[in-house]
Every structure is written in C-alpha cells, then in structure tokens.
Homo-oligomer: A and B are copies of this chain.
C-alpha cells in the first residue's frame, strides 16, 4: 500500500460518520476538552466517541478506555495525547480500521531534537502501511463546514459561514486569523485545513482531493516554505485552470525566512524561484491576508472578465475615486460607454452629475427607477467587461440595497460584479448578506480592496487563459 490508498481514504477523513477523540477530557486546561467542545457544540450529526482510560463519560457521552474498545467502526480519530504515546495509538487505530487521523499532538519534526524527526518518520511508516491519511502532526486540525465537522481545538471555527472556499494552511495562526477575518467579512468557506508537519498529507495529496471535491470551488493556500516545490508544481500543473488556486506566502524577508525554517522544519527561501514555478503551474500569488480572502471570495462567485474594461458606478464620488485610482494602477481600464449607454445614462442623470465612466449615482440616489436603469444599461454595455458598484448607506437611505436586489438577483453575475456596499455595523447587513448568499454579488468592505479584487480576477483569468 502507498500514497494512492492514503489519498483514497481522504474522503472518509473529511466525511466521517463516527469520530473518536483520543485524549478527550473534561479538564478545561487540556486541548482534549476544546476538541470535544468543537465537535459537540456544532451540529455534527455523526457519532462522537471520547477515548480516555480514566473516564466513564465525557460531556455526557460514553467514554471508552481505548479506540479498540469502541463496538462500532471509527472513521476519524482525533489525537491529542502526548507524542510518546502516539506510535502505540497509531497501531491501535490501524487495527481498528480507522480511515483517517487528525494528529493535533506536537513534538515531532518541528523540534530541534533529532528524535522528533525520527519519531515522525516512525509514525509515518505506521500510517502509510495502514493507508491512513494523517492531518498533522502539530496542527490545530481541520474543519469541513459542509459536514458541520469541526475537528480542531477551536470551537469558534464553526462560526465561519458555509461556502465554496477551501483554505489549506501551513500555519495554524494564519488559518485562525483568516477564519476570524472571514467571520467578520462574510467570507464563506468549505474546508479549513491545517497541514501541520505534513506526515503523509501534503499539498500533493490535498490539492487533487479538493479539485475533485464538489463542495470546493476555490482553493486558497497559505504557504511558508515548501519541502518540495517541484512536487507542488507538478501536482498543480495537472489540474491547471480546473479550479482556481491562489496563495499567500510569507517568509520572504530575511528574518521571516529564519522564522519559517524553525517553525515548520523546512526552508522558506528561494521564493522568487518558487513563485516562478508556482505561477507556471497556475497558482496565483496574492500579497496579504486581506487580498487572499478578497480574491478567493471573488473567484468563488464571479465569472472571468473578457478584458480589462471596467465600469465604476458609485453613489459617492470620494470612495469611487479611490476605486478608480486603484483600477488604473492595477491595470484595469475605465472604459468609455457605448453611445447608446451614454444616452440612457444622460436621460436618467441631470447634467450636473458625472455621467461618463465613473458614474456618480448621487443625483439618482432617491430615484430607484433611475438608479436601476443606469446600472442595467451599464451591465448591458458590450464595452464593459466588469462592474464595480460602490454605495455607502445608512438610515436616511436604508432602502437602497433592497431596491437594487431584484436587478442584481436577475443579473446573476453575467459579467463580474464586485460591490462595496457599506453601512454602519450590524444594521442592514442582512440584505447585503442575502445578495452574497444568492451569489448575486461579492461585497468587499473598502473601495480600494474591491478594485484590487477585480484587478486580481482579471489578472488571474489572463494567467490561466493567456
């Protein structure tokens, strides 16, 4: 048995019917407590079996002394016991027929002591022989939101919305940060995976799985260093363009490089060479945590723009200008409208308004028909390949988004539409969220980030389609 079997067991790992938590605890200072909380607090519908030789019940669930004592099959084992016990537990799991393991325990390859690396090699052999795919060790775990499965020590991951973006991270901190940001900005995810030390599930195993995963439309990677960039390159090349793969990579500074080396036991340097190779393989670079999420969100919803021509429609000139500045800087062209579109717009806006591209919608602010007429005309204009729609609103104009809903729902991203609809926190977000959930818009909280996301969408399309 080899890697092929491991890969074929990945589905079971992410879709278990029965989960054992080896090291489950009711002691709040133990990770085994928080893993139990993550599993039980969500709406996971499968069986949960705490494993702890010293307990009869944990969080109201019957506990077992060992995984081998469970009467029923165990699909996924989550392990949070000290490193020295892990080899024995792997053997038990193999005997029990466990299909996948999340190994949260640290203290393997990442420690300076050579014994750590040897131990990791030893358990890798055990797992490979049994064809058990292992997420970790030294990981927070993984989340499959479509299965309501939170196999991590962070119950709050369950608060991320259910969507189409799968995040694969080499850093637990980065995955936590991105997920907390995602909650705040309504970025909806499919899977959140912390690769940890990558015992036998590395990018080369996880990417092909996610490309076939019907719940994943966009793959977002957080990279720090790569043991074997050629392998990632070859893996990604095989499905180049089938699903968008985008990445944010840190450790490009001198000190960052040192940090990476210590942290994941691999070398972060040589990033220029890496990026050249990764781009060839269709992996698109983003510049920071915000851009990774913004572009992932955009790719999950928007079709590709046919060219770099963009229309900027803005209810407020200032934020619109900020978007225009970014568009020009990032290679989008604020195109001229067709004579027909321009005539329609001129008929709906007074002469005092800016009626060419960018359009200042301000004067039509209280006239829903005019507003819809202008937006529709621009959407239908052949010269326009993408649209950025910007509106700040509050109680004096709270009907603005509901009034636009039918138009945006009907348009359904025939050309990419990125919006920046911003209201005071928590007040009318439900309309924006409903539009996002219907796939009618991608909403990004600042005009500059909205423009950057559209420009990145265009550049991604160009990279893939030439």
Contacts and interface: CB of A to CB of B under 8 A. Distances in A.
B423 A112 contact: no
Interface stretch (A81-89, A231-239, A258-266, A434-442): A258-266
Interface in A187-226: 222, 224
B352 A110 contact: yes
Contact of A172 (B316, B329, B334): B316
This protein's copies in its complex: 2
A60 interface: no
A358 interface: yes
Contact of A170 (B264, B318, B328, B446): B318
A17 interface: no
A23 B172 CA distance: 57
Contacts of A37: 395
Nearest to A328: B253
B319 A394 contact: no
Contacts of A250: 318, 321-322, 324-325
Interface residues of A, number: 84
Contact of A445 (B172, B181, B314, B315): B181
A219 to B, nearest CB: 18
A111 B360 CA distance: 13
A222 B392 CA distance: 16
A354 interface: yes
Given A153-B396, A259-B358, A329 B169 contact: no
Contacts of A264: 317
A384 to B, nearest CB: 14
Interface in A224-253: 224, 250-253
A427 interface: yes
Nearest to A320: B259
Given A112-B351, A173-B318, A259-B324, 14 more contacts: A153-B396, A154-B394, A169-B318, A171-B318, A174-B316, A177-B422, A177-B446, A184-B184, A251-B321, A256-B321, A256-B328, A259-B358, A259-B360, A264-B317
